[in-house]
Every structure is written in C-alpha cells, then in structure tokens.
C-alpha cells in the first residue's frame, strides 16, 4: 500500500469532490428557493441578456397598455361631454320648433328665448368643464399648446391629441377632437340674437327682434341647428371609432406581454421538481464525500500509527 502522509492525495481528491458536491447542492437549493435557474449573469450570460431585453420590453408594453387604458378613459370623458351637448342642442331645436308655431305669441317667444339663452350658456359651460387630468377636451381656448407643440389658436376648432400606444417612437395614434363651444358649432350669431331678446321685457321686444323665431324666419335657425347637431354627432362617432381601435390595441399589447412573459419564464424559471431532485442528489453525494474525506484522513492517521510503533 502506497501511503503519502505529507500530501495525502486521497484526502485532497475527496475534499475537491466534497466541495463540488456541496456547491452543486447549494446552486440547486438557490434555484429551488428563488424559482430562477438564471439568478445572475454568471449562470448563463447569453440567456441572461436575452431575458433582460425581454423584461425591458415587457415593462415598456405594460406602460403602453396603461397608456391605452388612460387614453380610453379620456375618450369616454369627451364622449360624455359631447353626448350632453347633443341633448342640449336637441332641446334648443325643440324650443325653436315651438317658437315658430303659429299658435305662439311674441311674448311666448321671449320666454322661450330666455330658456334658450340658458341652454346656449350651458353649451359653453359644458365645453369649458369637460376635462381629463386638467386637459380641456371640447375647447382649445385654455389649453395653451397642443400635444404637437404648436400653439392653439382661438380660431382653431380642433383639439389635437397624440396617444403613445406602443414601446417605440412610431407606436402612436393622433386624434383631433372638434370644439363643442357655441362658436365651434357655428351658433354664435343665433346665440347673440337669443341673448338680445332674453335681455328685454316682453313689452319692449319689437317684431324684428324675434323674426328669427317666427314661422317665416326660423328656417335658417333650424338649418344652422341641424348642422351643429350633425357636427356633434360626427364627433361622437369619431370618438367611438377610436375607442374601438384602442380596444383592439389593448388586446394586442396584452397578447404580446403574455407571449413575452411565457418566453422569459422558459429562459429564467426553474423546474421546481427537477431542482428539488437535484438538490437531494447533490446533498446525498455531499454527505457521502464528506464521510469519505473523513475516512481518508483516518487512513493517514492509521499509517502514521504503524510507523510510530
């Protein structure tokens, strides 16, 4: 028997095997407890880089999907404001029809004008109060600048919006909301006429003051109201179309996120059953190699005892 007491090569070999088994058991335990088979770059640099890029895109798409939800809420807010304006315009039209009837007197027309004055004021109020996150949606008079960076003009009857719906610079949707003010709807002239009549007492109103409400003169007023209603209805339809598109975008982004997360999980996630089995295997081997290390050390002491006898 060749016993090398000075270097004890059996012990060195057994120790190296024991250290490797213990390291393997520790790695398997880490993968089982964290649920990740790539917990750090050193585990697999190339796969870690692929996974990191996937996670970056997942984060970006999650934010894009949140943007879509916010944009949809904005559009619904605008839709609600326009629907309210449509109801008011319908009421004004009904009052004009009532005023133009032959059984209405000029005193009746003054009373109806007072009601219409309030309704016209509500149209402007509605445009000034329909906001989302502080942004005016139905008038550009107070927004200062559009999303494109161009100053909004008081004469412009559109509100420019740009929705970022993806994770790159080209993934956006541009949209224009029409102004729903009295001026934007083309009703400024008749609103002023109504205000003039409403400011007078019935006895002070002349026949010329209410000509636009009489049967012979109400046709132009009705035509203008119909045009305003068509503009409001078209604006509501446009919003509905974009809400539908945003719904499709949200579904598409959610599908992309799901597929990316599945791919990332395949790269990073541990097979728990496999890792626990691996841990048990390396743990048993570690204990066995530890026993063999102790045995090889005991053999060296036995050889020394023989020499000393």
State pLDDT tens for residues 163-201: 888 888 888 888 889 999 999 999 999 999 999 999 888
Nearest to 15 by CA among 280, 270, 246, 289: 289
Task: List, for residues 258-306, the tens digit of each pLDDT value.
Answer: 999 888 777 776 656 666 677 677 677 677 766 666 666 665 555 555 5
CB 249 within 8 A of CB 175: no
Mean pLDDT over residues 121-138, rounded? 94
Under DSSP, the state recorded for 51 is H
Distance between CA atoms of residues 173 and 67, nearest Å: 12
Residue 3: Cβ within 10 Å count: 14
Give the lowest-confidence range in 144-148, 227-231, 257-261.
144-148
CB 168 within 8 A of CB 63: no
Q: Does position 104 have pLDDT exceeding 80, yes or no?
A: yes
Looking at domain 54-266, its CATH class is: mainly alpha
Task: List, for residues 63-97, the tens digit of each pLDDT value.
Answer: 999 999 999 999 999 999 999 999 999 999 999 99
Residue 57 token pair = 């895109």
* pTM recorded for the entire structure: 0.72
Average pLDDT score, the chain: 81
């Amino acid at each position: 028997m060749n016993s090398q007491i000075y270097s004890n090569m059996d012990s060195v070999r057994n120790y190296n095997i024991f250290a490797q088994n213990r390291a393997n058991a520790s790695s398997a335990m880490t993968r089982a407890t964290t649920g990740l088979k790539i917990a750090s770059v050193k585990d697999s640099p190339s796969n870690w880089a692929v996974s990191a890029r996937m996670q970056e895109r997942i984060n970006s798409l999650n934010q894009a999907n949140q943007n879509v939800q916010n944009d949809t809420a904005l559009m619904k807010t605008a839709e609600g404001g326009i629907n309210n304006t449509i109801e008011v315009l319908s009421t004004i039209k009904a009052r004009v029809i009532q005023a133009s009837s032959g059984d209405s007197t000029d005193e009746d027309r003054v009373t109806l004008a007072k009601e219409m004055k309030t309704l016209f004021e509500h149209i402007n109020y509605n445009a000034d109060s329909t906001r989302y996150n502080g942004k005016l949606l139905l008038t550009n008079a107070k927004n200062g600048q559009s999303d494109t960076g161009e100053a909004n003009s008081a004469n412009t009857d559109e509100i420019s919006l740009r929705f970022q719906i993806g994770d790159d610079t080209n993934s956006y949707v541009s949209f224009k909301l029409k102004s729903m003010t009295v001026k934007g709807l083309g009703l400024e002239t008749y609103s002023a006429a109504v205000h003039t009549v409403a400011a007078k007492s019935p006895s002070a109103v002349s026949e010329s003051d209410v000509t636009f409400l009489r049967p012979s003169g109400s046709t132009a007023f009705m035509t203008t109201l119909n045009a305003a209603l068509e503009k409001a209805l078209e604006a509501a339809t446009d919003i509905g179309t974009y809400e539908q598109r945003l719904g499709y975008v949200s579904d598409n982004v959610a599908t992309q996120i799901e597929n990316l997360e599945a791919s990332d999980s395949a790269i990073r996630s541990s097979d728990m059953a496999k890792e626990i089995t691996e841990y048990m295997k390396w743990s048993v081997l570690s204990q066995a190699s530890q026993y063999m290390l102790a045995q090889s050390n005991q053999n060296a002491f036995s050889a020394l005892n023989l020499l000393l006898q």
